[in-house]
Amino acid sequence: MTLNANEYKALKALYNSTSGDNWRTNTGWKDWDFSSETPPSADVVNGWYGVVRFVPA
């Protein structure tokens, strides 16, 4: 399952606009190439510190 394109854009904007490279804890985020326009797998994003994937029941 690939992350929704709009959600990816929002996470990318958050990371870039708040100097994510300098966050105290940026586990997972720092390993992703944000120059990519292609959203990552939802499993990849699930490993980003502070991000929890909601799965409807």
Q: What is the mean pLDDT of residues 9-37?
A: 92
Give the C-alpha separation, 1 to 25, whole Å: 26
Burial string for 2-35 (b: 16+ CB within 10 Å, else e) reads ebeeeebeebbeebeeeebeeeeebeebeebeee
Torsion over CA: 9, 14, 15, 18 (sign): positive
Whether 38 shows a pLDDT value over 80: the answer reads: yes
Position 43 pLDDT exceeds 90: no
Using a cut of 0.85, tell me whether the model's pTM lies above it: no
Q: How does pLDDT run across 3-21, given as a tens digit for each residue?
A: 889 999 999 999 999 999 9
Domain boundaries, the chain: 5-46
